[in-house]
């Protein structure tokens, strides 16, 4: 018995890296998989048969999978990805929005094209893929699981990734809102902030020399995402997990104790009580 026996999972960006690792593990655990991928390069250009290759490997291992090459960042693409699941397997139970690109620049060097394309693929892509699945689950009275991919770059910040970080922070907000709206329909929504060495990070010298390389393989993130998608996490929604081969931990937005007062107040009042307004400074 697999953890996902009888389930159908759509996984975007599953032609390599994290998505491929998810697809192969989910198939091993009994799910039928829609492997979506354009097969583009890291910056979003070009195309290849990456999805077909992953499907062939899943089928050769005894699993069930179909390839889909639609663009996640358009509503037509999102609807077609859902249609692949319905036409091939009759339903959908799980959606993992994993597709993404990078166009890293310091903020002053980020072009409008770099900004728009990264937000289009990550944030709009989450919308375009989630909405058709959401409506199908809701209209058919079926429970489901939606996992959106955030990042520590958006949750904590990272140099040179203003566009990527903004998109991933937006996904955190989407997870929180959809988890509230999904309660009445039995739709669980979670976020994952994965830490793995994929082709997105392959050119970073520090990582290539890192002794932690084997621990940070995509295959070591996949079990945490499997947990999130399975009934083992049935009591969890609206939460974001940072997942790697080294740790799994929930990431939350928190509020400090705060200054409780009655208006009017002055800017100097805030400064005087700054210790209550702000969290303690991080030790240096």
Residues labelled catalytic: 164
The CA-based angle 212-19-183, given to 5 degrees, is 110
**What DSSP string describes 98-140?**
-------B-GGG--HHHHHHHHIIIIIHHHHHHHHHHHHHHHT
Containing 242, the helix (H) or strand (E) segment is strand 240-243
Cα–Cα distance, 10 to 193 (Å, whole number): 18
| Bridge partners of residue 272, in order along the sequence | none
Strands 187-194 and 240-243: parallel
Containing 168, the helix (H) or strand (E) segment is helix 162-181
Q: Report in angstroms the alpha-carbon separations of 111 from 31, 100, 125, 167, 200.
A: 41, 18, 20, 15, 20
Containing 10, the helix (H) or strand (E) segment is strand 8-12
Cα–Cα distance, 146 to 43 (Å, whole number): 25
Task: Give the closest residue to 79 by CA, choosing from 28, 130, 20, 5.
Answer: 130
Mapped onto helix, strand or coil, the DSSP state of residue 78 is helix
What token pair was written down for 186? 């039995």
| Bridge partners of residue 71, in order along the sequence | none
């Amino acid at each position: 018995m697999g953890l996902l026996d009888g389930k159908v999972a759509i996984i975007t960006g599953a032609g390599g890296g994290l998505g491929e690792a998810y697809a192969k593990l989910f198939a091993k655990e009994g799910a039928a998989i829609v492997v979506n991928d354009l097969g583009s390069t890291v910056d979003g250009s070009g195309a290849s048969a990456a999805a077909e290759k992953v499907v062939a490997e899943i089928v050769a291992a005894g699993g069930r999978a179909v390839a889909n090459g639609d663009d996640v960042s358009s509503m037509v693409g999102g609807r077609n990805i859902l249609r692949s699941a319905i036409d091939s397997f009759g339903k959908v139970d799980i959606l993992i929005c994993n597709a993404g690109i990078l166009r890293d620049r310091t903020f002053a060097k980020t072009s409008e094209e770099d900004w728009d394309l990264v937000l289009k693929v990550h944030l709009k892509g989450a919308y375009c893929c989630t909405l058709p699945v959401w409506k199908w689950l809701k209209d058919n009275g079926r429970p489901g699981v939606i996992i959106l991919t955030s990042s520590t770059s958006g949750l904590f910040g990272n140099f040179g990734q203003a566009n990527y970080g903004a998109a991933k922070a937006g996904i955190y907000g989407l997870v929180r809102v959809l988890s509230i709206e999904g309660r009445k329909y039995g739709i669980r929504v979670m976020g994952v902030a994965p830490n793995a060495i994929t082709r997105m990070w392959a050119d970073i010298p520090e990582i290539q020399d890192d002794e932690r390389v084997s621990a940070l393989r995509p295959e070591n993130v996949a079990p945490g995402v499997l947990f999130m998608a399975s009934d083992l996490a049935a009591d969890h929604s609206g939460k974001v997990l940072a997942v790697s081969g080294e740790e799994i931990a929930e990431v939350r937005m928190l509020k400090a104790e705060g200054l409780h007062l009655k208006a009017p107040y002055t800017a100097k009042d805030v400064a005087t009580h700054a210790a209550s307004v702000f969290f303690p400074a991080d030790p240096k």
